[in-house]
Structure 1
Amino acid sequence: MIVEVNEQLRPEPELAGLLSDARIELDLVALCNYYLDELRLGGGDVLVFRSSAHAGELIAIDLFREPQDQLDLIYIAYVCDPSRRSVVSSGLLRFFQGCRTQVSYQMSVHHEFVRKMLDVRSYPRLREKGYRQKLLNNPVLSDGKLVG
């Protein structure tokens, strides 16, 4: 989600471009700082950021930190209108291909994992070590901290 350029963290261009085109307000550097600096193992919520330009378009990120995960893996779901599918899917694939660690990339018209991830009725969701995961809509990140 971020890259290092001249010893400074910058948003990864493909993902940042998709978010900008969709007018999804998400500071990728602040999100990564929050994940790495603030979240403990066995914690982390699902954050949903919605587009102000395209109804129904969103990015959802499951930040739960599995206690045994040594790669700091997260789940990202991107939902878009069928009219934007080719633009979004090609941008997401380029983003995935540029990732240093590639685990899984899936694309579907209807994906059960995404449906469950976004189902507000399943929250708070009990995760490992008793953590009660929340679904947070359009949270605010500032200086690497979740403020809203």
Structure 2
Amino acid sequence: MKIIETHQFYIVVSMSDLVNWHGDGDDDFEANREIQSAIELLGLDADIKHLYKEYFYQTKTGQGDVYAFLNRNESKNLFAIDMYREVTDQLDIVSIFVSASPKLASIVKAKLRNLFDSASCQVAYEEANSLPKFQQLLNNNKPPITIKESGYRQNLIVQQCG
């Protein structure tokens, strides 16, 4: 019997789990090595430090967009992060979606699993050949989504990489 391979991943952790601090200054942090390595393997230009600053310094509670980074040379390689800040969220929860080409999937899976297993706030981890949440998130044919709890109109911001 052939096993169906995993190519898509969904992870929910605290935004703080995506960086490692090495000092007390505002910029004394770096991207978590596991997530940064996975992003680089996928051939993407997602800057975790920039996203972290965007989330904490520029995004108000009840707001936050989805950022998607697509590899224009390999359409299966994608990283997306939903940075909506729920009104009652005190853990700074973000949702991460990753898709990998079959040749990279097992390596990316190991890195994402290490990220999740070492996270201080482990909310959800899913992997499958095709995740409905993933397809719903990236449906470009719909207008911005209005978040019920705040009325915020969430945008999907797409960046082509490679």
User: Is the shorter-chain TM-score for this pair beyond 0.5, marking a shared fold?
Assistant: yes
Alignment of 1:111-130 (within 5 A): 111-127=131-147, 128-130=149-151
What does residue 134 of structure 1 align with? 155
Determine if the alignment matches structure 1 residue 76 to structure 2 residue 96. yes
Equivalent of residue 46 in structure 2, options 15, 26, 47: 26
Name the SS of the counterpart of 1:16 in structure 2.
Answer: helix
Q: CA deviation at 1:117?
A: 0.6
Determine if the alignment matches structure 1 residue 4 to structure 2 residue 21. yes
2:41–2:104: 8 Å Cα contact kept in structure 1? no
Q: For residue 104 of structure 1, what is the amino acid of its counterpart?
A: A
Consecutive unaligned residues in structure 2, runs of 5 or more: 1-17
Residues 110 and 40 from structure 1, CA distance in 2 versus in 1: closer, same or farther, beyond 3 angstroms? same
For 2:146 and 2:155, the matched residues in 1 are separated by 9
Determine if the alignment matches structure 1 residue 91 to structure 2 residue 97. no
Residues 10 and 86 from structure 1, CA distance in 2 versus in 1: closer, same or farther, beyond 3 angstroms? same
For 2:112 and 2:43, the matched residues in 1 are separated by 16
Q: CA deviation at 1:98?
A: 1.6
Equivalent of residue 75 in structure 2, options 38, 55, 58: 55
For 1:123 and 1:3, the matched residues in 2 are separated by 35
Name the SS of the counterpart of 2:126 in structure 1.
Answer: coil
Report which stretch shifted further, 72-81 or 119-128: 119-128
Q: CA deviation at 1:125?
A: 0.5
Residues 53 and 11 from structure 1, CA distance in 2 versus in 1: closer, same or farther, beyond 3 angstroms? farther
Q: CA deviation at 1:84?
A: 1.7
TM-score w.r.t. the length of structure 2 is: 0.80
2:66–2:83: 8 Å Cα contact kept in structure 1? yes
Q: CA deviation at 1:96?
A: 0.9
Q: Kindly indicate which of the two structures has a greater share of residues assigned to strand.
A: 2
For 2:155 and 2:60, the matched residues in 1 are separated by 15
Consecutive unaligned residues in structure 1, runs of 5 or more: 140-148
Q: CA deviation at 1:136?
A: 0.5
Q: Name which structure has the greater RCO, CA cutoff 8 Å, separation 6+.
A: 2
Q: For residue 87 of structure 1, what is the amino acid of its counterpart?
A: I
Q: Kindly indicate which of the two structures has a greater share of residues assigned to helix.
A: 1
TM-score w.r.t. the length of structure 1 is: 0.87
